[in-house]
Amino acid sequence: MYRIHGTSDPSSVGRAVSNGCIRLLNAHVEDLYDRTRIGARVYVQ
């Protein structure tokens, strides 16, 4: 299972910092939240 969350450290986005997390900029998380619903299926490529 993955977790998608924001970070206040932009240099950590896209890096292998922890197991099972997908880091986004906080502004991107806010945008994603507004465009999806709870339980939406997410495909990671």
3-21 pLDDT, tens digit per residue, is 888 888 888 888 877 777 8
Which residue out of 21, 24, 29, 32 is catalytically annotated? 21
Q: Is 45 a catalytic residue?
A: no
pLDDT of residue 26: 93
pLDDT of residue 11: 85
Which residue out of 5, 14, 22, 33 is catalytically annotated? 5
**CA distances, 26 to each of 13, 23 (Å):** 10, 9
Q: Is 21 a catalytic residue?
A: yes
21/18 Cα distance (integer angstroms): 6
The whole-model pTM stands at 0.68
- Per-residue pLDDT tens over the stretch 22-40: 899 999 999 988 899 988 9
38/19 Cα distance (integer angstroms): 22
